[in-house]
Amino acid sequence: MVALPLFDVILASDESPERTRGFAAQVVRASLSDLGQIEKLDENLMPEGSSLFDRQKAVLLRGMYEEWARQTEGVLYRLGRLEKRSILVEGAGELRDGYGRTRAMLSVSPEQVEAAERDLEAGKVTPLEEVRRELQLGAR
């Protein structure tokens, strides 16, 4: 995000807490908007339930998510610095949630998704009831 250097200047300046909070909220909204745009592209290019895995699209979309997550780490770091100064920013929790969902999604590689799709097509699946039963047995 191009605003990160400006965010640093604002953090180092003598801006009022309200102006700092307002600026940070704008950065948070921009970051959430960026994520929303990536998710819309993802939905349109890789519709859920589509039986055709398009590796090239998946890799390019993954790169967009990775770049967003990398930039968002910088925003979250700066939000943490504000929170240490008791400056709470609207949307910070939503941004953390989006970051967590994105990192969780990125923890699954395109190869793993492709393999899972092949297994599904080949009928190599475990019924949900069997998974539940195994989980219940493991919890005892």
Instruction: Give, for all 140 residues of the chain, the pLDDT tens digit.
Output: 668 899 999 889 988 999 999 999 999 999 999 999 999 999 988 766 666 667 888 899 999 999 999 999 999 999 999 999 999 999 999 999 999 999 999 999 878 777 777 777 777 777 778 878 888 887 66
Token pair for 11: 């953090």
Distance in angstroms (rounded) separating the CA atoms of residues 24 and 27: 5
Residue type, 139: A
pLDDT at 76: 97
Q: Is residue 99 part of a domain?
A: yes
- Which residue bears the tokens 């807490």? 17
Q: Which long-range contacts (CB under 8 A, 24 or more apart) does 7-16 make?
A: 7/75, 7/78, 8/78, 11/78, 11/81, 11/82
pLDDT at 51: 61
pLDDT at 124: 78
Distances (CA, A) of 48 to 12, 87, 121: 45, 40, 15
Q: Which domain holds residue 32?
A: 4-107
Of 103, 84, 85, 83, whose CA–CA distance to 93 is shortest?
A: 83
Of 18, 16, 28, 5, whose CA–CA distance to 80 is shortest?
A: 28
CB 91 within 8 A of CB 28: yes
Q: Is residue 69 part of a domain?
A: yes
Distances (CA, A) of 40 to 71, 99, 117, 132: 19, 16, 22, 33
Q: Is residue 90 part of a domain?
A: yes
Q: Is residue 130 part of a domain?
A: no
Q: Is residue 137 part of a domain?
A: no
Token pair for 69: 């997550």
Number of folded domains that form the chain: 1
Q: Is residue 81 part of a domain?
A: yes
